[in-house]
Chains A and B, each alone.
Chain A
Amino acid sequence: MEDSKQEEVICKLKIIFEKLLDLKIENLDDLVFGKTKNWDSLKHLQIIINVEKEFSTKIKTSDVITLTSFNKIKDYILSN
């Protein structure tokens, strides 16, 4: 059950990331704010807004800056 939920979150996140960052994801660990091409402050915000919409959640103001990688965003969604 847990695994399937994780799979679903990863799958949905991948679609958001690939669309917004205009890239083909190979390794999830490589996706880091400021390091991954095109992932700048504006894209970061667009990712956050899309994630909020997709998962019907509200990411706290104070957390936006801490979600600096694909994995951190994934863990955040899974834990909320």
Chain B
Amino acid sequence: MLFHNAVFLFLFLPIVFILYFYTSKYSKFTYEYVLIIAGIFFYAWFNIYLSPLIIVSIIFNFIFGNLIRNSTQIIFKKKILFISIFFNILYLSFFKYSDFVIQNINYLFNSNIQMLNLPFPLAISFFTFQTIAYLVDCYDGNIKKTNLTQYSLFIIFFPQLIAGPIVRYNYMMNQFNDEKSRFINRKNLTLGLILILIGLFKKIVLANHLAILVDSGFENYQNLEFFGSWLTSLCFTFQIYFDFSGYLDIATGVALLFNIRLPQNFDSPYKATSIINFWRRWHITLSNFLMNYIYFPWVKSLKKINFFNAMMVTFFVFIICGIWHGPSWLFVIHGGWHGIGLIINHSFRKLFQFEINKYIGWFLTFNYVNLSLVFFRSDTLDNSISIIKGMSGLNGFNFPIFFEDKIYIIIILLISMLISFAFKNTKYLLENFRIENK
């Protein structure tokens, strides 16, 4: 069930909303079960046979968390932490990367190992990271009290289950356990509905229309010249942003209906004036996770902490970031591309003392990101190279015929650009929204 589905918006959500506040009124605890059952139902809607996988993950990690929390021996604690993180990465890798590994082994050694063709459990990438953050929190002694019900709710809370944002246990539970969350809040309700509408606009009006041109462009990539390839790549750059940020606006809005404030995941990323700045604005909870749980411990573990070593780690963290997005070398290239961008950005800052003009910085950053997304969207490397060649003018300048009935999408693209470059974002709305009390 997706957020912009009528069944979700007009049936599932209102039923859960009514049940949640109705049960909250009569019992202190049942509200948790309403949300947990709703989460399982929401997950099972995609593929009922895969829902046991998330339940298995919840049970195992709850046990791991308890072992870590209750242990008094630091060595044992550390061991369990490593085993549990290893288990989670293996769990994710098995379903997500098995066939990718087999494919590469077959290619390298000319072998013929059969693919496993495993189904992909939805949301596994997100809940794996969220679970790792939970286990580290257990190790650090940040989680004083928990039980299976509360932990299940933390993982399976349906607004942020599928595509994040990646949240921390205490951040969520402090809100769930707040007595004030039990009552309908007029401000949150209004703001939540506004955010859902904004998200739906971003997704249905902007992203879904841009996708029509993008799909056609990438399908006919061999025939794309200068204008066609620029149009295709730009449309994708805005499609992916509005698709993802729209989805998260809806997630934030839906969570607000239940008085839960999710952390912001985007902060006008296309206004970024450097690649460093871009990663503080794009998929913020993911970059925070990568920085806190991979980059910092990795650099800290090095014998010598210097600029060169830190840059190497940055590069490899972004390779991990790339592969996390999916089992494809093109995602690895996308990650590596950003890793290199960050190294160039950091080196420039270190070597030259002057600040680059912000408009030039913005122009360079936007185009660097735009190019990286060509790899992200392409099916093959050949596909990416052909489009980049087209963008450079090497494939000529004749506007492609198959775009002629899609001229209206250029208007959608211009609107998308205007919103991304000039408008305030939903973070501003969340921070400044006021409602008059009658």
Interface positions of A (Cβ within 8 A of B): 34, 38, 40-42, 45-46, 48-49, 60-65
Whole-angstrom CA separation of A38 from B348 in the bound complex: 12
* B67 adjacent to chain A (CB < 8 Å): no
Whole-angstrom CA separation of A41 from B37 in the bound complex: 40
**Interface majority SS on A: helix, strand, loop or mixed?**
helix
Nearest B residue (CB) for A41: B291
List the A side residues contacting B300 at CB < 8 Å.
45, 49
CB under 8 Å from chain A, chain B span 248-303 = 276, 280, 288, 291-293, 295-297, 299-300
CB distance from B249 to the nearest CB of A (A): 23
Measured as residues with beta carbon below 8 angstroms from the partner, the interface class of chain B is 20 to 34
Of A34, A38, A40, A64, the residue contacting B296 (CB under 8 A) is A64
Q: A42 contacts B140, CB within 8 Å?
A: no
Of B168, B280, B288, B297, the residue contacting A61 (CB under 8 A) is B297
Question: Can you name 27 A-B residue pairings with CB atoms under 8 Å?
Answer: A34-B280, A38-B349, A40-B276, A41-B291, A41-B310, A42-B307, A45-B296, A45-B310, A46-B305, A48-B296, A49-B300, A49-B305, A60-B140, A60-B141, A60-B142, A61-B293, A61-B296, A61-B297, A62-B133, A62-B136, A62-B137, A62-B140, A62-B168, A64-B292, A64-B296, A65-B288, A65-B296
Whole-angstrom CA separation of A65 from B136 in the bound complex: 13
* B346 adjacent to chain A (CB < 8 Å): yes
Assuming the contacts A45-B305, A60-B140, asked whether A65 and B291 have C-beta atoms less than 8 A apart, the reply is yes
**Residue from the set B168, B295, B297 with the largest chain A CB neighbour count within 10 Å:** B295
List the A side residues contacting B168 at CB < 8 Å.
62
List the B side residues contacting A62 at CB < 8 Å.
133, 136-137, 140, 142, 168, 292
Whole-angstrom CA separation of A41 from B435 in the bound complex: 38
